[in-house]
C-alpha cells in the first residue's frame, strides 16, 4: 500500500501531466469513453447517431446546411472525427484554385469531406470515394445523396484502397487523377501513395492532400515524400479537428513526375 507521503510526492508530477496533456485526455474521454457508453446505451454507432441528428437539423439538397449540422453535432452533442471547418477551409481553397475534374478520396468515413469537396468542384467533375467499412459507407451514401449529389458526381466504392487503386483505370475508366484526398488509415498513406505512383494515374501537377500527418501522424509517408524527389510539398499547420490544443497538419503534394 502506498503511503500518504509517497502519494503527495507524486502529486505535483501528476498535476503537471494533467495540465500539459489535458487536450489529449479530453480527446480520449470524448472520442473513446463517451462513445463506448453511448454506443451501449443507444445500440447505434456514433455515425448513425450523427446521421439521425442531421436528418432532423439539415435541409435536404443543401450541402452547406449538412456541413453546418455536422459542426453543430460536435459542438452540442458528441465528438466525431471528421475534417471540421478550419482544415476544411484549406481543402476548399485548394479545390477552388485548381478546379480538378477527377478526384479520388481515400476514406469517406460518414461523408463530411465528400460533401465538402463535391460542393466546391466544377460542373462535370467526379469524385471516386473509397470507404472500406460497410457501416460507415452506408451512412456516407445517405449523407451524400441527402446533400443532392448523385452517382454521376460521387461514386462510393466499398473496398480497401489497395484493391481499388490498381483497378481504377481498368474497372472505372480513370485515366488521370487531378486531386487525391487522403484521410483513411495513416499506416496506409505511404503504400497507397506508392500504388498511385506505380499506377500511372498521377500526372505532372496532380495534387495530393493528406490529413493528420502530424497527429496521429504519418512519419513513413512524410519520409517517403522527402526522399522520393517526386513532389513539391509543404505542410499546412493546423489543430486537430475541433481541438484548440493538439497540433496537426495537412501535407500538400504536387506531383512532378519521374525525373
Q: Provide the whole-model pTM.
A: 0.91
Q: What is the pLDDT of residues 140-161, one digit of tens each?
A: 999 999 999 999 999 999 999 9
Question: Which residues have a Cβ under 8 Å from the Cβ of 196 and sit 6 or more positions away?
Answer: 165, 177, 180, 202, 208
Strand ranges for the chain from DSSP E: 102-106, 126-130, 154-157, 177-182, 202-210, 231-239, 247-255
- Catalytic positions are 183, 186, 211-212, 241
pLDDT interval class at 24 (50, 70, 90): confident
Nearest to 221 by CA among 259, 184, 183, 194: 194
Q: What is the pLDDT of residue 76?
A: 86
C-alpha cell at 84: 471540421
Give me the percent of the chain exceeding a pLDDT of 90: 76
| Answer CATH for 85-255 from 2.40.110.10, 3.40.50.150, 3.40.190.10, 3.30.200.20 | 3.40.50.150
The more confidently predicted of residues 74 and 5 is 74
Give me the pLDDT at residue 7, please: 55
**Mean per-residue pLDDT for 163-188?**
96
Pair 87, 120: CB distance under 8 Å: no
Q: How far is CA 187 from CA 61, 108, 191, 217, 223, in A?
A: 35, 16, 8, 9, 13
What does the mean pLDDT of the chain come to? Answer: 91
| Residue 224 backbone phi and psi in degrees, to 5 | -65, -45
- pLDDT number for residue 9: 64
Domain residue ranges of the chain, discontinuous segments joined by +: 4-76, 85-255
**Does residue 259 have a pLDDT over 80?**
no
Q: Quick one: DSSP state of residue 187?
A: G
Note the pLDDT of residue 239. Answer: 83
- pLDDT value, residue 171: 95
Amino acid 49: pLDDT: 95
Tell me 44's DSSP state. S
Identify which has the larger pLDDT, 17 or 218: 218
The pLDDT value given to residue 243: 73
**Is pLDDT of 240 > 90?**
no
Amino acid at each position: 500500500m502506498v503511503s500518504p507521503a509517497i502519494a503527495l510526492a507524486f502529486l505535483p508530477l501528476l498535476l503537471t501531466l494533467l495540465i500539459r496533456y489535458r487536450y489529449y485526455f479530453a480527446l480520449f474521454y470524448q472520442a473513446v469513453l463517451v462513445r463506448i457508453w453511448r454506443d451501449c446505451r443507444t445500440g447505434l454507432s456514433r455515425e448513425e447517431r450523427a446521421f439521425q441528428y442531421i436528418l432532423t437539423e439539415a435541409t435536404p439538397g443543401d450541402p452547406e446546411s449538412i456541413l453546418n449540422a455536422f459542426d453543430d453535432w460536435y459542438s452540442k452533442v458528441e465528438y466525431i472525427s471528421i475534417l471540421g471547418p478550419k482544415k476544411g477551409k484549406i481543402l476548399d481553397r485548394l479545390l477552388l484554385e485548381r478546379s480538378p475534374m477527377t478526384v479520388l478520396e481515400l476514406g469517406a468515413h460518414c461523408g463530411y469531406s465528400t460533401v465538402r469537396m463535391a460542393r466546391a468542384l466544377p460542373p462535370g467533375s467526379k469524385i471516386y470515394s473509397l470507404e472500406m467499412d460497410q457501416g460507415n459507407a452506408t451512412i456516407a451514401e445517405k449523407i451524400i445523396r441527402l446533400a443532392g449529389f448523385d452517382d454521376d458526381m460521387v461514386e462510393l466504392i466499398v473496398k480497401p484502397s489497395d484493391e481499388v487503386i490498381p483497378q481504377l483505370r481498368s474497372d472505372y475508366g480513370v485515366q488521370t487523377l487531378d486531386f487525391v484526398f487522403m484521410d483513411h488509415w495513416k499506416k496506409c498513406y505511404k503504400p497507397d501513395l506508392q500504388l498511385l505512383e506505380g499506377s500511372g494515374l498521377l500526372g505532372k501537377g496532380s495534387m495530393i492532400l493528406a490529413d493528420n500527418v502530424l497527429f496521429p501522424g504519418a512519419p513513413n509517408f512524410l519520409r517517403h515524400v522527402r526522399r522520393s524527389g517526386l513532389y513539391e510539398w509543404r505542410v499546412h499547420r493546423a489543430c486537430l479537428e475541433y481541438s484548440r490544443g493538439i497540433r496537426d497538419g495537412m501535407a500538400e503534394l504536387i506531383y512532378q513526375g519521374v525525373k
